[in-house]
Amino acid sequence: ITRNYHEKVISHYEKPRNVGSLPKDDIDVGTGLVGAPACGDVMKLQIRVDENGIIKEAKFKTFGCGSAIASSSYMTELVMGRSLEDASKIKNTEIAKELCLPPVKLHCSMLAEDAIRSAIRDYRSKRARLSQAAAAAEASATATAAAQV
Ligand code: FES
Per the CB < 8 A criterion, the answer to whether 67 and 109 are in contact is: yes
Which CATH number do you get for residue 44?
Answer: 3.90.1010.10
What does the pLDDT profile of the chain (149 residues) look like in tens digits?
455 789 999 999 899 999 999 999 999 999 999 998 889 999 999 999 999 999 999 999 999 999 999 999 999 999 999 999 999 999 999 999 999 999 999 999 999 999 999 999 999 999 999 888 889 998 888 888 888 77
Residue 143: inside a domain: no
CA angle 30, 82, 80 (to 5 degrees): 70
Q: What is the pLDDT of residue 3?
A: 57
Per-residue CA distances from 58 to 13, 32, 115, 120 (Å): 17, 11, 12, 11
Domain that holds residue 83: 2-135
Ligand 1 centroid–CA 92 distance in Å is 13
Q: 108, 113, 114: which to mutate for ligand 1, most atoms within 8 A of CB? A: 108
Residue 141: inside a domain: no
Residue 109: inside a domain: yes
Ligand 1 centroid–CA 97 distance in Å is 16
Burial tier of 28 (Cβ tally within 10 Å: 0-12, 13-18, 19+)? middle
Q: Going by C-beta distance under 8 Å and a sequence separation of 6 or more, which residues neighbour residue 69?
A: 12, 13, 16, 62
Residue 99: inside a domain: yes
Residue 6: inside a domain: yes
Residue 146: inside a domain: no
Residue 144: inside a domain: no
Residue 125: inside a domain: yes
- Tell me which residues have their CB closer than 6 angstroms to ligand 1: 36, 39, 41, 64-65, 67-68, 107-108, 111
Helix, strand or coil for residue 91?
Answer: coil
Residues in the chain: 149
> Phi-psi region for residue 5, left (φ > 0), alpha (ψ -120 to 50) or beta?
beta
Please tell me the total count of domains within the chain: 1
Q: What is the pLDDT of residue 1?
A: 47
- Whether this model's ipTM surpasses 0.85 comes out as yes
Per the CB < 8 A criterion, the answer to whether 76 and 58 are in contact is: yes
